[in-house]
Chain A
Amino acid sequence: MSDGISGPIRRSASVRRLVAIGVTLIVLLSPFLWLLQMSFKSNDLILQFPPPLIFTPTLQNYASLWQGAFPVSFVNSLMSASFSTALALVLGVPAAYALSRWAGRGKHAVSFAILVTRMAPPIAFTIPFFLFYRWIGLLDTVTGLVLVYTSFNLPLVIWMMQPFFETVPPSLEEAALVDGASTRVVFLQIVLPMVTPGIAATAILCFLYAWNDFFFALILTRTNARTAPVAVVNFMNYEGWEWGKIAAGGSLVMAPVLIFSLAVRRYLVSGLTAGAVKG
């Protein structure tokens, strides 16, 4: 395989191309790297002009985060993202399997109805959820966040898992059914183990979508269930702007994302396009 531009003559990357790629990468990533290096600077250094590129890194920003309420919000983020991922998988994986094996009419209608719930902009969900939570007392709770995150993670699971189930050869299932196994046993003992990598990738994407949420947490939480993204933004409101804390908090919020997305980068496109709007 070669590309249209460099053609068949040069199959490996030329030096010129490598240099261009390197320069582009540095330009593209420099905003991100700027935040990262700032998280290791003391506040004096951050405000120093010209900005020193070589400095003795300090962990004082991270230490000061540890002393405040930030760890609690980090745990809130972890819990709401994990629980909503688990809930979406438990409900969505069997549903995806059923849809992938459903030959009858109505399959497209059901699939599309599920997708529509993912296309809606978040604000469409926040107003009803806010009113409802106010009424039943779910405002500012992790449970409330889990439910709202499930509204976009469940459709993601159902859409992402179907192609994985379609890769399982039907002959395998038929053989087991003929031998007298029930559909439930076939699903649990034959099909499910074969799609484990798909489940892992889907789980990570669900986790990331919930973890990355800012909008729902901004409106549906106050202090008890405040998540890490909202907590970081709060450093911008009180006592001036604490840039060191903002940089350190931002770096911590993006750490799990960077690790996990490396693990599932092959599935990123399907995960992102399965829910074009929400997340």
Chain B
Amino acid sequence: MSGKGLVDAERRRFNAIALAPSLIVLFMIAGLPAIYLVVTSLTPFQLVNPGSSTDFSSPLRNYRLLPDDPRFVNSLWVQAKLSFWGVLFQVLLGMLLALLLHTQSRVVEFARTFFLIPMVLPPIVVAIIWKLIYTPDISPLYYVAGLLNIAMPSLTSSVDFALTAIIIADTWEWLPFTFLMVLAALQTIPDEFSEAALVDGANRLQVFFYITLPFITPILVISGMFRLIDSVKAFPLVFLLTGGGPGSVTEVTNYYAYLLAFDFNEIGYSSAVTIVMLLLVVAVSLGVVWMGRRREAMA
């Protein structure tokens, strides 16, 4: 065996030893729970009902119930609305913010950091902040509305505004993410294009629509997809601001699954809801990875 062969063999052995513990631990703390979730989703498992966790007599019962469960169907719609408007606002406002802050200046570079604050705050603190803003007794928002003689409805307990209130808070929290992604994309655009266009007599709007926008479209799409996957994480906002209400106006699937398992004690059914949600998320995630690959291939 040559020296190189020996080195390769040792390298392979080292790689195996370095990877194995992670893979084993990941399998135990992520793989097994996932498998167990599938197993419980096939049972009518209730904590108060011994034996229900091993009752596989009608394994697909939970899944058959799902399409006829109005709360489940409603939760998908609520999630779709929350995701759609949240992603739309975050991408648009993030892009505007990135355009505003994409300039060479030490002051601006320093200021950029502060725009990231909402995104890094603990989600529960974000929820607390918006709880303050939406609570009439102590809210500066209601105070200003009072000064201007505007009758402010209660945002979080109104059927018409509750979901909007959550979308606003979610947008505030995640706007910095899309901003950061778009800013990074803007910085890769070569100067020459816009310079040439301006010399040729194009105006700023034309430069934006014909040069900047095509350049940043892929990153707009990708950051939107990331936010789409992420939008199921609005749990703390729903939990603290509305509790899914009024009625089930803000009850997203994630929150419904939480209620089912930990309030209504329907572990088996909740598992089935979770699995369906998981499949939807994985489908979107695969899309992101695929688009990322394609982008890499193009670059």
> B108 near A21 (CB under 8 angstroms)?
yes
A232 to B23, CA, bound (A): 36
Instruction: From the candidates B100, B119, B133, B195, name the one contacting A7 in the complex (CB within 8 A).
Output: B195
B63 in the interface (beta carbon within 8 A): no
Contact of B114 with A29 in the complex, beta carbons under 8 Å? yes
Residues of B within 8 Å of A246, CB to CB, are 128
Q: Would you call the interface of chain A mostly helix, strand, loop, or mixed?
A: helix
**Candidates A7, A148, A212, A276; contact of B198 at CB < 8 Å:** A7
Stretch of B70-78, B80-88, B159-167, B267-275 contacting A (4+ beta carbons < 8 Å): B267-275
Closest to A229 in B: B124
Whole-angstrom CA separation of A247 from B133 in the bound complex: 12
Assess the B7–A177 pair: CB atoms within 8 A: yes
Of the candidate stretches A55-63, A65-73, A194-202, A266-274, the one touching chain B is A266-274
Q: Which residues of A contact B119 (CB under 8 A)?
A: 268, 272
Tell me the B70-129 residues at the A interface (CB within 8 Å).
97, 99-105, 107-108, 111, 113-125, 128-129
Q: Which A residues from 71 to 126 make CB contacts under 8 A with B?
A: 91-92, 94-95, 97-99, 101-102, 110, 112, 114-117, 119-126
Residues of B within 8 A of A253 (CB): 122, 124-125
- Asked whether, in the complex, the Cβ of B138 is within 8 Å of the Cβ of A46, the reply is yes
Task: Identify which of B116, B211, B285 contacts A268 (C-beta below 8 A).
Answer: B116
B212 within 8 A of A: yes
**Residue in A8, A46, A114, A269 whose CB lies within 8 Å of B195:** A8
- Shortest C-beta distance, A152 to chain B (Å), equals 9
A174 to B119, CA, bound (A): 42
A222 within 8 A of partner (CB) = no
Contact in complex: B180, A268 (CB < 8 Å): yes
Q: Which residues from B are CB-within-8-Å of A158?
A: 22
A273–B100 touching, CB < 8 Å: no
Q: How far apart are the CA atoms of A49 and B137 in the complex, in Å?
A: 9
B14: chain A residues at CB < 8 Å are 98, 182-184, 187
- Residue contact B21 to A95, C-beta cutoff 8 Å: yes
Q: How many residues of B contact A (CB 8 A)?
A: 106
Q: Tell me if B99 and A277 are in contact (CB < 8 A).
A: no
User: Which of A51, A120, A272 sits near B177, CB closer than 8 Å?
Assistant: A272
Q: A31-B129, A98-B15, A155-B26 are in contact. Are A1 and B191 (CB under 8 A)?
A: yes
Q: Is A20 an interface residue (CB 8 A)?
A: yes
Q: Contact check, B122 vs A254: say whether CB atoms are below 8 A apart.
A: yes
- Is B240 a contact of A233 with CB atoms below 8 Å? yes
Interface centre among B34, B125, B262, B282 (most CB of A within 10 A): B125
Interface hits, B213-241 → A, CB 8 Å:
215, 226, 229-230, 232-233, 235-236, 239-240
Structural contact, B271 and A127, CB atoms closer than 8 A: yes
- Does chain A have a CB within 8 A of B281? yes
Chain A CB count within 10 A is highest, among B22, B130, B232, for B22
Does B150 sit within 8 A of A, measured CB to CB? Answer: no
| A120 in contact with B278 (CB, 8 Å) | yes
By a beta-carbon cutoff of 8 Å, the part of chain A in contact with chain B is: 1-13, 17-18, 20-21, 24-25, 28-32, 34-35, 38, 46-47, 49-51, 91-92, 94-95, 97-99, 101-102, 110, 112, 114-117, 119-132, 147-148, 150-151, 154-155, 158, 177-178, 182-184, 187, 208, 211-212, 214-215, 218-219, 229-230, 232-233, 236, 243, 246-247, 250, 253-254, 257-258, 261-262, 265, 268-269, 272-273, 276-279
24 pairs, A vs B, C-beta closer than 8 Å = A4-B194, A4-B212, A12-B103, A18-B108, A31-B132, A31-B133, A32-B118, A47-B138, A51-B138, A51-B143, A95-B18, A102-B15, A116-B285, A117-B34, A119-B285, A123-B277, A125-B33, A212-B124, A218-B239, A247-B128, A258-B121, A261-B116, A268-B116, A269-B184
**Given A95-B18, A127-B40, A265-B116, 13 new contacts (CB under 8 A):** A21-B108, A94-B21, A98-B14, A98-B18, A99-B19, A128-B33, A183-B11, A215-B236, A236-B240, A257-B120, A268-B116, A277-B233, A277-B285
